[in-house]
């Protein structure tokens, strides 16, 4: 089993749609959680951190459920510019916070 | 401007010819990492460093070496490159605690 698993995708959605990405992690000692966005052949860029209380940034909402070891990202009112790969990232665990594990990513295509 | 700088951005070389990919950050970050990204496998950590002269193996360290003689620099060394090391490589840095990483622009290596 992979340490961080994401929906394989790709997701093809029309503009204006709401899209949900899901991610699960296997190490219950994991400490921090993030969503990154990666455009084709470019470097990953931080989209948002994920907190247990849930957090929102404009059209984006992230949730963390530690009991279920589950992370989600919701994008409302999708834009063409949201087309990218979304990476779930988990930091920490038994190695003392040094190990960063990336999910394989879920590709999103938003179409007009 | 805060940034992580990798060089070269692109390199085509031949099997067995030693090469070094440089990485430098200007944010005084303690932690630095190297990743490779391959289709279907996502980002995998090669090596990481917690501070000067402190490095450790990630998930796929075979065939690679690193050094951290100065806080700002973290070069990746391929002593005898082989075709299976053809990949997209990213350097990243972060400050202490459970903070997100900042990535360089990436280096695309082709080993013939």
Query: Would you place residue A2 in the very low, low, confident or very high pLDDT band (cuts 50, 70, 90)?
Result: confident
CA gap B111, A21 in Å, rounded: 35
> Which chain B residue has its CA at the smallest distance from A35's CA?
B100
Question: Phi and psi dihedrals of B75, rounded to 5?
Answer: -75, 150
Contact A98 B35 (CB under 8 A): no
Provide, as residue numbers in chain B, all residues whose Cβ is less than 8 Å from the Cβ of A105.
42
> Which chain A residue has its CA at the smallest distance from B97's CA?
A97
The answer, yes or no, to whether residue A97 has pLDDT greater than 60, is no
Beta-carbon pairs below 8 A across chains A and B: 52
- Which residue of B41, B48, B88 is in closest CB contact with A98? B48
Provide, as residue numbers in chain A, all residues whose Cβ is less than 8 Å from the Cβ of B101.
46, 100
DSSP secondary structure string for all residues of B80-92: S--GGG-EEEEEE
Which has more confidence, A41 or A98? A41
Query: Would you place residue B70 in the very low, low, confident or very high pLDDT band (cuts 50, 70, 90)?
Result: very high
Mean pLDDT of chain A: 91
- Which residue of A31, A34, A101 is in closest CB contact with B100? A34
**A12: nearest Cα among A61, A76, A75, A83:** A83
34-93 in chain A: CB under 8 A from chain B: 34, 36, 41-46, 49, 87, 89, 91-92
The distance in angstroms from the start CA to the end CA of chain B is: 36
Inter-CA distances, A11 with A39, B30, B99, Å: 15, 37, 29
Class of residue A19 by CB neighbours under 10 A (exposed 0-12, middle 13-18, buried 19+): middle
Contact A43 B35 (CB under 8 A): no
Provide, as residue numbers in chain B, all residues whose Cβ is less than 8 Å from the Cβ of A102.
35, 42-44
Helix (H, G, I), strand (E, B) or coil at A80: helix
State whether residue B35 sits within 8 Å of chain A by CB: yes
Look at A8-17, A58-67, A86-95, B87-96 and tell me which has the smallest mean pLDDT. A86-95
The answer, yes or no, to whether residue A98 has pLDDT greater than 70, is no
Determine which of A44, A55, A85, A86 to mutate to test the interface with B (most B C-beta atoms within 10 Å): A44
Contact B105 A42 (CB under 8 A): yes
Tell me the per-residue pLDDT of B5-48, one tens digit each, with 9 for 90 and over: 999 999 999 999 999 999 999 999 999 999 999 988 889 999 99
CA gap A5, B40 in Å, rounded: 12
């Amino acid at each position: 089993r992979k340490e961080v698993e994401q929906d394989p995708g790709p997701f093809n959605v029309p503009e204006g749609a709401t899209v949900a990405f899901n991610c699960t992690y296997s190490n219950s000692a994991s400490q921090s959680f993030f969503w990154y966005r990666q455009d084709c052949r470019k470097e990953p860029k931080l989209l948002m951190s994920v907190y247990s209380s849930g957090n929102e940034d404009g059209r984006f909402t992230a949730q963390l459920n530690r009991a279920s070891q589950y992370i989600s990202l919701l994008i409302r009112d999708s834009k063409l510019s949201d087309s990218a790969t979304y990476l779930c990232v988990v930091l920490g665990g038994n190695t003392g916070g040094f190990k960063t594990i990336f999910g394989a990513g879920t590709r999103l295509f938003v179409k007009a | 401007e805060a940034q992580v700088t990798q060089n070269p951005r692109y390199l085509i070389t031949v099997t067995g010819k030693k090469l070094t990919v440089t990485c430098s950050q200007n944010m005084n970050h303690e932690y630095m990492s190297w990743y490779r990204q391959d289709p279907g496998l996502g980002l995998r950590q090669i090596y990481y460093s917690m501070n000067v002269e402190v490095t450790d193996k990630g998930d796929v360290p075979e065939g690679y070496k690193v050094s951290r003689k100065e806080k700002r620099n973290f070069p990746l060394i391929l002593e005898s490159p082989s075709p299976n090391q053809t990949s997209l490589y990213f350097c990243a840095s972060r400050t202490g605690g459970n903070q997100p990483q900042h990535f360089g622009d990436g280096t695309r290596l082709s080993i013939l």
